[in-house]
Amino acid sequence: MGREYIYLDNAAATRLDERVLEAMRPYLFDTYAVATSQFGYSPGIDARDALDDARARIAAVLGATPEEFIFTSGSTESSNLALKGVALALGEKKGRHIVAGAIEDFAVLHSARALERQGFGVTRVRVDEDGRVDLAHLRESITPETILVSIQAANQEIGTLQDLQAIGEICQEKDTLLHTDATHSFTRVPLDVRAAPVALVTVSAHTVHGPKGVGGLYVREGTPIRKWMDGGFQEFDLRPGAENIPGAVGFARAVELVTPEETARLRGMRDRLTERLLEISHTRVNGHAVHRLPHNANISFRFVEGESLLLHLDLRGFAVSTGSACFSRSLEASHVILGIGGNHERAHGSVRFTFGRFNEEGDVDSVAEAVTEIVRELRRISPLGKE
């Protein structure tokens, strides 16, 4: 993909940084032994050393100890391990009730649904019109049988950040564990697990210009959790299977390459794009105006179908994402937009623009001009309404 195509869907996946690839290369072609071979020969010892080093570097960014960080295949597996692992550990001891946010990503929502089929009760906590958790509803949702609360750090579509401190204090008061999916905020929004009242945190490399297929789960020392998948004894006997050492090394390098200055640059581009797009009539921002991801702009355009806008942008060389049902395998409109009180028209007309390291300042004006022209033309021929 050359510069003629402008990629603005960095919440879905980011381009691998060449410096990350260089860090991974030796473990793809030279030190390719598995880490569990450490007791047999030197290449296995080298592989184990690389894995331990990567673990320590990522854990340090979280404020965790290396022993509290589990490598996984990505955010989906991490969240599955968090919910199902705690359910296996505590379901028969404390209770069979889970609390989750209403607009979580599918890894959490579908894991909770799977536990429901196994007889667990699940309460889905309401959010306000900006996507922030209703703290009063959260408090009343937690019962003595609640074993885990899962509330995301940041929403994958509208970018809203949650007040993890307030949420965590409620969980501590109610003596229940808190898991947060930080896939979209990790490295962009500070999170220190030594200060935040969280027991489990999902993270992934694919959103920080690292490789796909590797992620992690922070598990606070002493948190009751059991292995979810059957197999070997890797990852402190919580995640069986041959370790993805090149992925782990790449993940660590990617995490360290993110800087506050870069994040500030992305925030500036997001703000300029939002300002430009709101000049178009009948538009609105989805998500919190202040407490939101620094690289996320989610806008709804009335009288326009999101998939039409997306396809026209693609023809002009831009990649974005939409909450329209036509781009969902379930053929359902965005559960996030509906969850914050939006109607189907607002969901179908929503478009997400997310910036990354390889976007340039000129991308803002280019996509803003294209969107303005396309929206004007689509509204001219739309049966949905006229200005």
Active site residues: 326
Q: How far apart are CA 358 and CA 75, in angstroms?
A: 23
How buried is residue 9: exposed, middle or buried, by Cβ count under 10 Å (0-12/13-18/19+)?
middle
Q: What does the block give as tokens for 313?
A: 């942008």
Q: What single letter denotes the amino acid at residue 310? A: L
Contact 197, 172 (CB under 8 A): yes
- Nearest one of 84, 117, 123 to 104, comparing CA atoms: 123
Dihedral Cα 61, 65, 70, 71, nearest 10 deg: 40
How buried is residue 276: exposed, middle or buried, by Cβ count under 10 Å (0-12/13-18/19+)?
middle
Distances (CA, A) of 341 to 18, 315, 332: 42, 32, 15
**Measured at the alpha carbon of residue 127, what is the angle toward residues 125 and 130, in degrees to the nearest 5?**
165
